[in-house]
Structure 1
């Protein structure tokens, strides 16, 4: 009888140890999951905040372009095709930007914005339809000397510089987030918690990836 009770006690002790070990493992996993979740939330918020800085500058640029077209068309009315191309590219970029603003980092919308920005181009880098417009304006001395034109060129160039710097900050934040979600143990929980990869903001033009150089000559 004593032997049976001892065996039962030993069995209960072994079960208790197993339960304790399981409990410890579960607790560790819970703490890992909570820590990973909180870290990914912080990093996601960081790159979304970084994108909000880009969004402000892009909206400023998009607002300046209609004023630019109004100024230019008085001198270049026969360049209707180019002027229409600028407005169309600007509107496409606005649409893509609004989609990204609703969910920064989303791969599909970020790629569309990059393509739209490449089509629109840059005053300072001389790319896209904006670059073509300013190249054509070189043939119009009166337009080049127009005070409003010079002011708009300066504002657009300044805004493009700010977009470039903000884009770098955003891409750095995205890289930090993507790296964090791909390493252990985050890689186990990221998909489970809905933390998908974030997309860089890249413009499909080698010149656009360079830091803009300011020139008002």
Structure 2
């Protein structure tokens, strides 16, 4: 009888342990889901503020840059599309909403860049105020997105991990969507260095010859780009031809009175890689 009681006690403890662990994991998932929803509400406030600023920005730009008609229409269309999706969203955004908001962000950035060509618009007080407000809003959206995505990552990892995935499936915990940055926003400016011309009118793709330092006083330095087999001017070293008189040669024959590197050695001096001089001293 006592053995049966012990077994029953062990079973009860195991059941209580499993129930307690399940309750703890469930409460953890609820807390993480609430943090995701709260962080998204902070972003949603800034997005709605942007909805209010964009119509005034469009009207201000239209008065100074009427031929930016297509750009202004695109911004208005994307703004209305994002606002429509926001009115039907729940506690967290859908992937479609996130994509629409990022397209709207890109359109606003492109418009603010394009107005650099209009000095009158850049000096307009109303435009400057709208530009400042939009820039601050975009900065807060970017900061809120980083915080939101961090919470989404932790929440989704918890849902997908074993054994909490069984609890998530049992109580219908759904994965949250990231508020991703679009590819066009990540792309860096493409700088084509091939369009930069060399100084002094040097053609593209050619190197400017470098002048050698002067070897003798009063003698100008000569460029070190002589072709193989050509003779160098007197008094100057040569790279690939014969060496001048009185100077060591690099690849040709050595001058008289100086040791040669690769050719025949001068008379009365030992050669490095060529023949020994006549009458070498023992």
Give the 3 Å change call, closer, same or farther, for CA 149–60 of structure 1 in structure 2.
same
C-alpha displacement at 1:174, in angstroms? 1.3
1:103 is aligned to 2:81: no
Superposition TM-score, scaled by structure 2 size: 0.61
Kindly indicate whether the alpha-carbon contact (under 8 Å) linking 1:51 and 1:170 is maintained by their aligned counterparts in 2: yes
C-alpha displacement at 1:206, in angstroms? 5.1
C-alpha displacement at 1:173, in angstroms? 1.2
1:116 to 75, 100, 103: 100
| Structure 2 unaligned regions, length at least 5 | 189-282
Q: Could you say which residue in structure 2 is the equivalent of 1:54?
A: 43
1:129 is aligned to 2:107: yes
Distance 1:168 1:184 in 2: 26
Query: What do residues 104-163 of structure 1 show as CA deviations (whole Å, max 9, x unaligned)?
Result: 15xxx1x11221123212xxxxxx322332333222211111111111111101110000
Q: Could you say which residue in structure 1 is the equivalent of 2:126?
A: 148
Kindly indicate whether the alpha-carbon contact (under 8 Å) linking 1:62 and 1:94 is maintained by their aligned counterparts in 2: yes
SS at match of 1:74: helix
C-alpha displacement at 1:190, in angstroms? 1.1
Distance 2:186 2:136 in 1: 14
Query: What do residues 31-78 of structure 1 show as CA deviations (whole Å, max 9, x unaligned)?
Result: 111111111111111111111110111111111000101111111223
| Structure 1 unaligned regions, length at least 5 | 1-11, 122-127, 211-217
1:31 is aligned to 2:20: yes
Distance 2:147 2:34 in 1: 13
Q: What's the Cα RMSD here?
A: 2.2
Q: How many residues align?
A: 188
SS at match of 2:32: helix
Larger helix proportion of the pair: 1
Q: Could you say which residue in structure 1 is the equivalent of 2:142?
A: 164
Higher relative contact order (CA 8 A, sep 6+): 1
SS at match of 1:138: helix
1:76 to 65, 69, 94: 65
Which piece of structure 1 moves more, 61-70 or 77-86? 77-86
